[in-house]
Amino acid sequence: MARPLSSARFRAAALTLPLLAFVGVTFIAPLGSMLVRSFYEPHVADALPRTLAALRAWDGSSVPSEDTFRILATELRPLDQQRKLGGVATRVNRLEGGMRSTIMDTARALRGAEPDSWREAVIAADPAWGEEAAWLAVRRAGERYTIRHYLNALDLDRDPSGNIVAQSPERRIYVPLLLRTLGVSLAITVICLILGYPVAYLIANASPAKSNLLLLLVLVPFWTSLLVRTTSWIVLLQNQGVVNDLLVAAGVIGDDGRLALVYNMVGTLVAMTQVLLPFMILPLYAVMRSISPMYLRAASSLGATFLQGFVRVYWPQSLPGVAAGSLLVFILSIGYYITPALVGGRTGQLISNMIAYHMQESLNWGLAAALGVILLLAVMSLYLVYNRLVGIERMRLS
């Protein structure tokens, strides 16, 4: 009896294999590889193995020995010839500004040279090699397993003796950005709840024909490309846009006092709220539809005012929808990218825009990965707190 059942179950489960394979190849594997990148960086270690071995024995308090200079020079030469030096130089440069040109110039100057003193030749090629800082940067860039991306992402750094210290104030950007992202997400969630709750209530309690129409209106935005919706906000909100024109025409503001509504935090808030509102309304509606209007009638027959009935009878029963919608909107907005990228300007950027920058522009994938991991951890810890406070079993999507 158990055997045919389990084989039937196995067959049913087997039908999901294509999906699992798809998810594995397109989602889990890249995610895993990014995770690995955040702490594993073999590039420099593989390129300069003997230099790094020599530096490990070095005490760091003075310029290394002649031997070390020679080994560095001989290891730079094949990398230069094979045009692989750029990647190494870039990575060292992230730890010590100017090291990219130092390394590239040195390799160029040493082409074909066979000097008596490598030390003098290398320092002549670039005087930076006469300072410990350059060598320390090479040694640290050569760490195969490293937490420096995480330190970087948390606005921390190491001092020359290797202690973890706070980044100088003007270079602290990621933690404030993460906090701003959390704050903006919270604000968007609250605004969506305030705007969406009455709409969901209306839809759930309207006659079938009206509620279908209203539901359709909520869903219409999904028929339009996100890009189109976001750019149309630019049309509405820009300096010479519809909103400002109307305000000027109505005499609320003067023509010279047009409001900056886009390419800043206001633009990000407005556009993201509009984009995410359906994700609040739909779970709320699903839960509210299951709350019988009889409960409010019962409350009023028992002597409660509408407000008393709402606060004590309706609202508690709608909480699972509030929880589901809020969690959905919050998590979606914490990782939102396109909308802030288009309408956020400089001040309306969120953490995901910074991750994208490091993926696409600075090509510092390790840092991008570390930022992504920290974002993930932040969401997960919030989820745990939320679960402790609200209880995830109280969340219902329908």
Partner 1 sequence: MADTGTETHVEFRGVCKTYDGRTMVVRDLDLSVRRGEFFTLLGPSGSGKTTCLMMLAGFEAPTAGEISIDGRSVQDLPPRERGIGFVFQNYALFPHMSVRRNLAFPLEVRGVPADQQAERIQRVLEIVRLEGFEARRPSELSGGQQQRVAIARALVFEPNLVLMDEPLGALDRRLREEMQFEIRRIQQDLGVTVVYVTHDQQEAMSMSSRVAVFHGGRVQQVAEPEVLYEEPEREFVAGFIGDNNIFRGRITSVGRGVCDVETPDGVVKAFPVGECRPGQDAVLAIRPERVGLAKPGVFSNEFEARVDGILFIGDHLRLRLNLCGNADFIVKIPNIVGHGALLAGDRVSVGWAVTDCRALPLDGLEGNPEAEPGA
Residues of the shown chain interacting with partner 1 in the complex, contacts defined by CB under 8 A: 292, 294-295, 297-305, 308, 312-313, 316-317
List Cα–Cα distances, 396 to 37, 272, 288, 327, in angstroms: 37, 24, 11, 11
Minimum Å gap between C-beta 286 and partner 1 is 17
Nearer of residues 162 and 303 to partner 1, judged by Cβ: 303
Those residues whose C-beta lies under 8 Å from the C-beta of residue 87, and which sit 6 or more positions away, are 43, 47
- Dihedral sign for Cα 201, 206, 208, 212, please: negative
Nearer of residues 302 and 392 to partner 1, judged by Cβ: 302
Minimum Å gap between C-beta 395 and partner 1 is 15
Minimum Å gap between C-beta 199 and partner 1 is 23
Nearer of residues 22 and 295 to partner 1, judged by Cβ: 295
Angle at 353 between CA 238 and CA 345, to 5 degrees: 20
Nearer of residues 7 and 305 to partner 1, judged by Cβ: 305
Nearer of residues 72 and 313 to partner 1, judged by Cβ: 313
Minimum Å gap between C-beta 397 and partner 1 is 19
Minimum Å gap between C-beta 205 and partner 1 is 14
Rama region for 97: left / alpha / beta (φ>0; ψ in -120 to 50; rest): beta
Nearer of residues 171 and 394 to partner 1, judged by Cβ: 394
Contact 312, 326 (CB under 8 A): no
Minimum Å gap between C-beta 319 and partner 1 is 8
Nearer of residues 89 and 299 to partner 1, judged by Cβ: 299
